[in-house]
C-alpha cells in the first residue's frame, strides 16, 4: 500500500505556497527538537515550539503519527548525509572506527526520536526507514569478513545488532553521566574490534580516529 509520507523528496502535483513550505520546515524542526528532549512531547508542545497554531499543524500532518514519521524520516536523511561523507574504504578496522565515530554522534543526538517513533509507529516501518544506514554497516562488515579482518562465525545480522546496540547503550550511559562523552567512541571501537575477532586470532589494537 502507498503511504503519504513517501512523498519525502517527490513533490505534490500543485506547488505549495512559500510560507506553507516554511511552516512545514519550522514544524519539523520543532518536532525534532521537542521529541529529542521528550519522546512523549505532545502536538501542542511541538506547535508552540514552531510558533504555529495547533490547527495549522494539523493542516500539514493529519495525525501525530504522521508528524513523527516525517520527523523520523527527516532525521534519518540527515544522518545518512553525514554518513555519506564518511570514508568507509581502506583497512576495515580503521573504516569501522571512522564509521562508529560518525554514527555515534548521530545516535547520541537523536535517539529519543527513535524512541518516540517506536511508541507510535509500527516496527516494520522503522526498520524500513533505517534500511539504508543498516546496509551501510552491513556492507562494511562483509567487506571486512571477505578480507579476513572480521570473524565469519557469527551471523551478519547479529553483528549489525551488536554495533547498533552498543552505540545506543553508550548514548544512554553518556546521558546518565556514567562515561565521559569524549571517550565513548574509543570504548565502542575497542569493544567492537575485539568482539569481531575470530576465536584463535589476536585482537587488533584500536587506534584513535580523531
The residue ranges that bind DNA (CB under 7 A) are 14-20, 23, 42-44, 51-56, 58-60, 62-65
Closest distance between DNA and the C-beta of residue 28, in Å?
Answer: 12
Closest distance between DNA and the C-beta of residue 75, in Å?
Answer: 18
Residue 59's binding partner among DNA, a second copy, none (Cβ under 5 to 8 angstroms by kind) is DNA
Question: Which residues form the interface with a second copy (CB under 8 A)?
Answer: 123, 151, 153-155, 157-158, 161-162, 164-166, 168-170, 173, 176, 178-179, 187, 190-206
* Per-position DSSP letters for 105-151, written without gaps between them: HHHHHHHHHHHHHHHHS-HHHHHHHTHHHHHHHHHHHHHHHHTTSS-
Residue 194's binding partner among DNA, a second copy, none (Cβ under 5 to 8 angstroms by kind) is a second copy
Q: Quickly tell me which residue has 576495515 as its cell.
A: 92
Between CA 33 and CA 38 the distance in angstroms is 9
Between CA 117 and CA 156 the distance in angstroms is 25
Between CA 51 and CA 67 the distance in angstroms is 16
Residue 170's binding partner among DNA, a second copy, none (Cβ under 5 to 8 angstroms by kind) is a second copy
Amino acid at each position: 500500500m502507498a503511504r503519504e509520507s513517501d512523498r519525502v523528496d517527490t513533490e505534490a502535483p500543485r506547488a505549495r505556497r512559500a510560507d506553507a513550505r516554511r511552516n512545514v520546515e519550522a514544524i519539523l524542526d520543532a518536532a525534532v527538537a521537542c521529541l529529542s528532549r521528550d519522546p512523549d512531547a505532545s502536538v501542542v508542545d511541538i506547535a508552540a515550539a514552531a510558533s504555529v497554531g495547533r490547527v495549522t499543524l494539523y493542516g500539514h500532518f493529519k495525525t501525530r503519527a504522521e508528524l513523527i514519521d516525517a520527523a523520523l524520516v527527516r532525521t534519518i536523511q540527515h544522518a545518512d548525509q553525514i554518513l555519506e561523507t564518511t570514508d568507509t574504504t581502506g583497512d576495515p578496522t580503521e573504516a569501522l572506527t571512522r564509521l562508529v565515530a560518525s554514527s555515534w554522534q548521530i545516535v547520541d543526538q537523536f535517539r529519543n526520536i527513535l524512541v518516540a517513533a517506536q511508541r507510535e509507529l509500527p516496527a516494520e516501518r522503522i526498520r524500513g526507514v533505517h534500511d539504508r544506514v543498516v546496509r551501510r554497516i552491513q556492507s562494511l562488515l562483509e567487506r571486512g569478513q571477505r578480507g579476513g579482518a572480521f570473524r565469519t562465525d557469527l551471523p551478519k545480522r547479529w553483528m549489525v545488532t551488536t554495533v547498533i546496540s552498543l552505540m545506543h547503550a553508550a548514548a544512554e550511559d553518556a546521558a546518565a553521566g556514567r562515561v565521559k562523552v569524549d571517550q565513548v567512541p574509543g570504548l565502542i571501537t575497542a569493544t567492537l574490534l575485539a568482539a569481531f575477532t575470530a576465536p584463535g586470532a589476536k585482537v587488533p589494537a584500536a587506534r584513535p580516529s580523531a
